[in-house]
Amino acid sequence: MTVLSGNAYWTHIVEPNNKGNFPSDKYEVIIGNLDAENIQKIKAMGMSKRIMNKDNEMGDYIKVKNKSQPKVIDKNKNPISPIPLIGNKSKVKVQVNTYQAGAAGTQ
């Protein structure tokens, strides 16, 4: 597992993303404004194709998602309950892991 840090955008951690133009029915967060160190971590996980940049305030970013609701902890690693809403541009650290999925073996 790897910890990525950046700014949160379009978080869906209280409920899955099941509305709008691109529903996934998964919990997800975009981690934006990735620095060189975090980009290198993503590349080391074999996920360089997932790094995106649309020339907007998010800079280089990656979307992470999961079928299970994430655990949210504070800087002292104490669980936060109930899970709060996290606004755009909030500084976050997100623990991520890869897995094999799909017929083509994509990550």
Q: Token pair of 95, please?
A: 């623990």
Say which residue the tokens 């194709």 belong to.
49
pLDDT, tens digit, for every residue of 7-36?
A: 999 999 999 999 888 889 999 999 999 999
Query: Residue 38 is inside which H or E element, if any?
Result: helix 36-44
State yes or no: pLDDT of 58 exceeds 90. yes
The single-letter DSSP state of residue 11 is: E
| Residue 62 vs residues 9, 55, 58, 71, 79: alpha-carbon distances, Å | 10, 14, 10, 19, 24
Q: What's the mean per-residue pLDDT of the chain?
A: 91
Is residue 64 helix, strand or coil?
A: strand
Q: How far apart are CA 60 and CA 64, in angstroms?
A: 14
